[in-house]
Chain A
Amino acid sequence: MTETHPEADVTALNVAPSLDQAVIELSPSIYRVALSILRDPALAEDAVQETLIRVWTNLERFRGDAPFRVWVLRIAHNVSVSMGRKRRDQAVDPHDLSEVKASGAGAERTAEGRAMVGELWEALDQLDPLSRAIVVLREVELFAYEDIASALDIPLATVKTRLFRARRSLATKLETWR
């Protein structure tokens, strides 16, 4: 039996009213997945653009055996991981990104919001990229476990174990914001 997220709107995962519209409406989700992996707003934007291009140019390969959203975010994940590898090969010091993290939507936040975001970023930094992607797909994008396993091409038990560990780790930080 498929385990859906309690808040997931199943119809939204499967129905694309118009394909180009659907892809564009997924842009914020693509951005969140990319940012969670890359931790750099500028690179995340590049990843969204690259994902949209790949989605469009590979559209004939979409067989419909997974929801369209899962297929798109699988591409977004692969693009982001690939970009992350390239960046690592270019030997960018990850600590140089600490200030970049505060950019993106940062300027639109209140001081308290920025502080909370900073704390959560610190907690996210303690997780590996795969765990960050898993927690975002589950907690923000409301994916079913099976869809996460499909999108990331990993076993179901791995999805669950990584998610539960990530929650434990992040919840410790969140305690200070209650």
Chain B
Amino acid sequence: MSRRVPSDRQLLAWLDRNPSRLERHLEMYPDDAARVEVLTEAPSLGAQLRETLRPPSDLLDRLTMGARSDESRRDATELIVELFGTAWRTAAVLFTDEET
């Protein structure tokens, strides 16, 4: 049995005004998700989100200090500081590379 294939306009109308309808449709016809994917592509979104949510360059130092000053959970935080001490120094170099 053939099905009536919704137009691009119909898919976007569901997306904007009736998302639960689109969700039900995608559950039945998952291949149509690829069409909506193309229709909603935003090529620069990832880069701009990455910039918007960029961690501070001294994140690791701040985490280390935060863990050391957390008196309420001394055992757990000391464990973290000890175990990750070396790794954090290595990672700091990696993060610096990532940010530049």
Q: Give the B-binding residues of A (Cβ under 8 A).
A: 18, 20-21, 23-25, 27-28, 31-32, 35-36, 41, 44-46, 48-49, 52-53, 56-57, 104-105, 108-109, 113, 116-117, 120-121, 124, 135-136, 139-140, 142, 155-158, 160-162, 164-165, 167-168, 170-171, 174, 177-178
Q: Give the A-binding residues of B (Cβ under 8 A).
A: 15-16, 19, 22-24, 26-27, 30, 33, 36-37, 39-42, 44-46, 48-57, 59-60, 62-63, 66-67, 70, 73, 76-77, 79-80, 83-84, 87-88, 90-91, 94-95, 98
- Asked if A31 meets B26 with Cβ closer than 8 Å, knowing A21-B90, A52-B63, A120-B48, the reply is no
Q: Say yes or no: B45 contacts A171, CB within 8 Å.
A: yes
**Bound form: Cα–Cα A177–B44 in Å:** 10
Chain B residue numbers with a CB within 8 Å of A35 are 53, 55
Can you spell out 22 A-B residue pairs with CB atoms less than 8 angstroms apart?
Answer: A20-B84, A27-B91, A28-B59, A31-B55, A46-B66, A49-B63, A52-B84, A53-B73, A104-B55, A108-B54, A108-B57, A116-B48, A120-B52, A121-B52, A156-B30, A161-B15, A161-B23, A164-B15, A164-B39, A165-B15, A165-B19, A171-B40
**Bound form: Cα–Cα A52–B37 in Å:** 34
Q: Say yes or no: A48 contacts B26, CB within 8 Å.
A: no
Q: Say yes or no: A27 contacts B60, CB within 8 Å.
A: yes
Chain A residue numbers with a CB within 8 Å of B39 are 164
Q: Say yes or no: A21 contacts B79, CB within 8 Å.
A: no
Chain A residue numbers with a CB within 8 Å of B41 are 167
- Asked if A157 meets B23 with Cβ closer than 8 Å, knowing A28-B95, A52-B84, A167-B40, the reply is yes
Q: Is the interface of A mostly helix, strand, loop or mixed?
A: helix
Q: Say yes or no: A53 contacts B48, CB within 8 Å.
A: no
Q: Say yes or no: A41 contacts B56, CB within 8 Å.
A: yes
Q: Say yes or no: B63 contacts A164, CB within 8 Å.
A: no
Chain B residue numbers with a CB within 8 Å of A49 are 63, 66-67, 70, 77, 80
Q: Say yes or no: B55 contacts A174, CB within 8 Å.
A: no
- Asked if A27 meets B48 with Cβ closer than 8 Å, knowing A53-B73, A170-B42, the reply is no
**Bound form: Cα–Cα A79–B41 in Å:** 30
**Bound form: Cα–Cα A65–B40 in Å:** 31
The 8 closest A-B pairs by CB, nearest first: A139-B46, A32-B53, A31-B55, A171-B42, A24-B91, A105-B54, A167-B40, A157-B26
Which residue of chain B is the closest to A124 with respect to CB atoms? B52
Q: A37: shortest Cβ distance to chain B, in Å? A: 11
New A-B pairs, 17, CB < 8 Å, besides A27-B55, A27-B63, A120-B49: A24-B87, A25-B91, A27-B91, A28-B98, A31-B53, A56-B79, A56-B80, A120-B48, A135-B45, A140-B49, A140-B50, A157-B24, A161-B26, A164-B39, A164-B40, A165-B16, A174-B44
